[in-house]
Amino acid sequence: MNFELTEERQMLQDSLRRFLRDNQDALRASTRLGNADNTLGFDAEIWGKLAELGVIGALFSEEDGGFAGEGFDLTTVFEELGRAGAVEPLLDTAILGGGLIAALGSDAQKALVEQVIGGELHLALAHGEPNSRYDLTQVETTATVEGDSILLSGRKAVAVNAEAADFLIISARESGAAGDEDGISLFLVPRDSAGVTLRGYGLLAGGRAAEVDLETLRLTQADRLGAAGAAYPALKRAITRAEVALAAETLGAMEAATELTREYLLTRQQFGRPIGSFQALQHRMATLLIELEQARSAVINAAGHLDASPTEQALHISAARNLIGRAGRLVAEESIQLHGGIAMTEEYELAHIAKRIVMADHRFGDTDTQLERFLDQSAA
């Protein structure tokens, strides 16, 4: 099997890497937690330029108005974003929000995808709840039909990019009990709708999220995405694609941490020579490189199985996320150890990269959760 990038993907990677390198200062400024000058959580100018480069379009198929959208297109883009430390919400606006609209939306709703690809529209998925942890079916927010209206009530937790989003995609239960796959619906809701309250905050790894309170939010039937109570398969598919993208992003961050560490070992002098010449440190660095290559293989494997059967797909993606979680933590910890105290300072980039690597493991399912999913699928 040939794992080399196609000519089109190589061009995409080269142009994106060059752009991110040239805009490194602006990207880093937008990633810092508590940046009072950036309430969006990202750089709006960078976002517009990414759209002009066609990066957002690379995440959608031709049927949906893009020009790519396959697993290896996702990993090509997100590995570069992770390498550069970019927090622009491509995962939330394009993979999750845009993917769900493309899969379930009416013709009028699908017209929004063109605006997403053009960089004119932001989206956020408000699905997780305080009691849901990593269970996609644990939806307690209710959707009650009242005449021609639908009333939503409940609370959503850690809705990434919610403050910057023009529309929220909100999940709610129209039938069944919490934990059932059937009965979950998705609704496309303007962020500033009456009945929607956001409480935003900065994320440790950069960017922003919000708690979303829904108090008798009144919607119409036209606001629903797809059929009533039948949104779970599309939701699961979008989250699966997002997991592959997140794994690739973490791989890129691991590459950046490893390269910073290598440069430091070749620069830092002790006893009249670079500390990278000491055998004990060489062995530890070699371990990092081995883990990095294992992580790369896992990401390639996950991307290659993104269109496999649901069981096989879940098996390989859970395996990849578990390995990425374990290898990523090792890379983050060892990189800091090999640097010493400088790695913990706010001014040094490694501190922020390590946060991103560690926190990525806690989105969509941590290492232990992924192992449980892998064992469940293996026994199926």
DSSP string covering 59-107: GS-GGGTSS--SHHHHHHHHHHHHHHT----HIIIIIIIIHHHHHH--H
First to last CA, the chain: 28
Structurally, what CATH architecture does the domain formed by 233-379 represent? Up-down Bundle (1.20)
Q: Which pLDDT does position 161 carry in this prediction? A: 96
Q: Which two tokens stand for residue 181?
A: 């796959």
Q: Which pLDDT does position 28 carry in this prediction? A: 77
State the virtual CA torsion across 77, 82, 87, 92 in degrees, nearest 10.
50
Q: Which two tokens stand for residue 308?
A: 């496999």
Decide: 73 and 55 in contact? Cβ < 8 Å: no
> What 8-state DSSP symbol labels residue 151?
E
Decide: 137 and 184 in contact? Cβ < 8 Å: yes
Q: Which pLDDT does position 199 carry in this prediction? A: 95
Q: Which pLDDT does position 36 carry in this prediction? A: 47
Report the greatest alpha carbon distance in the chain.
81
Decide: 86 and 46 in contact? Cβ < 8 Å: yes
The pTM of the whole model exceeds 0.85: yes
CATH code of the domain occupying 7-121: 1.10.540.10
196 contact partners, CB below 8 Å, separation of at least 6: 168, 189, 212, 213, 214, 217
Domain 124-229 has CATH 2.40.110.10: yes
User: Coil, helix or strand for 194?
Assistant: coil
CA 92 to CA 31: how far, in whole Å? 16
Q: Which helix (H) or strand (E) holds 19?
A: helix 7-22
Per-block mean pLDDT, blocks of 10 residues, the chain (380 long) = 81 95 83 59 92 96 93 96 94 98 97 97 97 94 94 97 97 95 97 96 90 96 96 97 98 97 93 92 95 96 93 94 97 95 87 94 95 89
User: Coil, helix or strand for 196?
Assistant: strand
The region, left, alpha or beta by phi > 0 then psi within -120 to 50, assigned to residue 119 is left
Q: Which pLDDT does position 41 carry in this prediction? A: 85
Query: Could you tell me where the beta strands, DSSP code E, fall in the chain?
Result: 123-126, 142-146, 149-160, 167-173, 184-190, 196-202, 208-220, 224-225, 269-270, 273-274
Q: Which two tokens stand for residue 167?
A: 């529309």
Listed as own residue / partner, the contacts of 6-11 with beta carbons closer than 8 Å and 24 or more positions apart are 6/72, 8/68, 9/68, 9/72, 9/73, 9/76
Q: Do β-strands 269-270 and 273-274 pair in parallel, antiparallel, or remain unpaired?
A: antiparallel
In the chain, residues under CATH classification 2.40.110.10 are: 124-229
Decide: 82 and 217 in contact? Cβ < 8 Å: no
Q: Side-chain half-sphere of 14: how many Cα atoms within 13 Å?
A: 7
> What 8-state DSSP symbol labels residue 132?
T
DSSP count for the chain of H helices, then E strands:
12, 10
Q: Which two tokens stand for residue 37?
A: 């000058």
